[in-house]
Amino acid sequence: MRIAVLKFSHETVTFLPFDTTAEDFIFPGSPASGEALLGSEPQGYIGGFVQVAREYDGVELVGIESPLDSKRGSGSGWITKEAFERFVGRMVEELRSQGPFDGVYLSLHGAMGVRGVPRPEAEIARRVREVVGPQTLITATFDPHGNEDEEFLRHADMAFTVKYYPHYDAHLQGQRAARMLVRAIRGDFKPSHATVKVPIISPTVLQWTGGSSPWAALVQRALVWEAREPDVYVNVFFGFPWSDVPDAGMCFQVITDNRPELAQQVADDMARFAWRQREALLNAAKIWRIGEGVARAAAAVAEGKTPVVLCDHSDRSGYATWLLRAILDQGLSNALVATLADAAAVEALLAGGIKAGDEFDMALGGRADESSGEPVRIQGRVRQVVEGPRRSSTQTCISIEFGEGNLLVLTPFLTQIIELHTLHGMGIDPAVFDVIAIKSRVHFRRGFDDNGFAREILLVEPDQPFLGTVRLDGLRYENLTLGNYYPYGSPPFG
């Protein structure tokens, strides 16, 4: 049994002013093929898939040359058509030359945006199908922020989507994809499926599946269906509104073992459940304006409710200075700002031989676009120049002491601080700070909320509705009409 493994995963913020090119996917180790690809994410989708697939006798996995994650991370704009064609073309060539295959596994995201390609993941599946033929089984794993509709499953047989946000179950879904693919190849499982789109569009910051969130109730409904009916698999796509694509918004896919009527029943039930909960889903979290949030953080410190996490969920480039400026203007002390992106500043500082102990006086951040604000002058002293959490040219981070006990972490690109150990790896002890200012939507909760670390969490965004805002009507969509989605219109459903 021969199974090809491919990866092309990207969460595209199409409102960013710069494109994601082929060079953004090329760095030491990427693209990867063979065992390098199969071992590229031991705790993620591919790691789970490889682990279970290799538990079966007679299974040969073939790692097809694939790009790994963009160097820019989640701060990446439209993928160029040239980059898409370059990598997908190479994948197709290798599939053709190394075949035949009994199965294909695609590690995807679902929120990829490519100039001139309306549904990139479906297009990948279509091209793979053309090469491997109708008898080969195709499965995939997805992120719940995917913008998907029925088109992907026109060409693929199965899909398995992470349910939790933060994404705790990526490895589990990879395992599931492997198990079901092997079963299908052996004839033990005959995939049938149903897809239902729901006209709800929502900012990702609201989609936390922890605590008593209505998004947790939505996931629990899916888990109940999977528990009560054998071989039912429910994919909940929350959607990703920062990709201006025609299939944006909420979607449900249901996979069953040759029971298409059941698949449709479950998909309809999930869709109706979500529609009934639409108001709660769209009001799942309080969002503060940055000035108000910083003032509330200062009050919490005075009340002894520390540490306080100030989370600028709206910064999609990493360059935004609004929160840093408010911290300076309101005189916060003992605050950690992690992180601020400024690739040009980092490059210049490294070229100048910056080192720990140097005096520092430089304007940082801003400049990326109007959503990033103006550069902010920081005066202080360099604490450390250390290897950060990312690979290749994005690894360097520079920590700068300023003000009264404050520390700023400067990075080349947007860096979400998700886990406390990431800060420890930068030589920073987060426990000594009263306020921690970070840039993330929900992923940070795994390191700051779910473990009880933060005493108070404040989600903030600038006064103006920039590209990461919860006020989606402030964005200039060209490929979808907001009025066709709740809460911006009254679309017929149900």
The pLDDT tens digits for 437-465 are 999 999 999 999 999 999 999 999 999 98
Rounded Cα–Cα distance for residues 330 and 395 (Å) = 31
Query: In this structure, how many other beta carbons lie within 10 angstroms of the beta carbon of residue 177?
Result: 27
In whole angstroms, what separates CA 336 from the centre of its chain? 24
343-353 pLDDT tens trace? 999 999 999 99
Give me the pLDDT at residue 494, please.
76
Question: DSSP secondary structure string, 214-281?
Answer: HHHHHHHHHHHHHHHSTTEEEEEE---TTS--TT-SEEEEEEEES-HHHHHHHHHHHHHHHHHTHHHH
Q: Which one-letter amino acid corresponds to residue 165? A: Y
Answer yes or no: is pLDDT of 335 > 90. yes
Give me the pLDDT at residue 389, please.
44
Give me the pLDDT at residue 392, please.
42
Q: Is 193 helix (H, G, I), strand (E, B) or coil?
A: strand
Which residues are CB-neighbours of 71 under 8 A, at least 6 positions away?
Answer: 24, 25, 27, 390, 391, 392, 393, 394, 413
Answer yes or no: is pLDDT of 279 > 70. yes
Parallel/antiparallel/unpaired status of strands 191-198 and 250-257:
antiparallel
Contact in structure between 414 and 343 (CB atoms under 8 Å) = no
394-415 pLDDT tens trace? 468 999 999 999 999 999 988 8
Copy the structure tokens of residue 82. Answer: 């040239």
Residue 16: DSSP 8-state: S
Does an H or E element contain 398, and which?
strand 396-402
> Which of 9-18, 100-109, 320-329 shows the lowest mean pLDDT across its residues?
9-18
Give me the pLDDT at residue 393, please.
39
> pLDDT above 70 covers what percent of the chain?
98
337-393 pLDDT tens trace? 999 999 999 999 999 999 999 999 999 999 888 899 999 999 999 999 986 444 443
Answer yes or no: is pLDDT of 151 > 70. yes
Answer yes or no: is pLDDT of 276 > 60. yes
Give me the pLDDT at residue 17, please.
87
Q: Is 436 helix (H, G, I), strand (E, B) or coil?
A: strand
Give me the pLDDT at residue 387, please.
63
> pLDDT above 90 covers what percent of the chain?
92
Average pLDDT over residues 95-108: 98
Rounded Cα–Cα distance for residues 340 and 395 (Å) = 14
pTM of the complete model beyond 0.85: yes
Contact in structure between 282 and 214 (CB atoms under 8 Å) = no
217-249 pLDDT tens trace? 999 999 999 999 999 999 999 999 999 999 999
The residue among 425 and 473 whose pLDDT is bigger is 473
- Mean model confidence pLDDT for the chain: 95
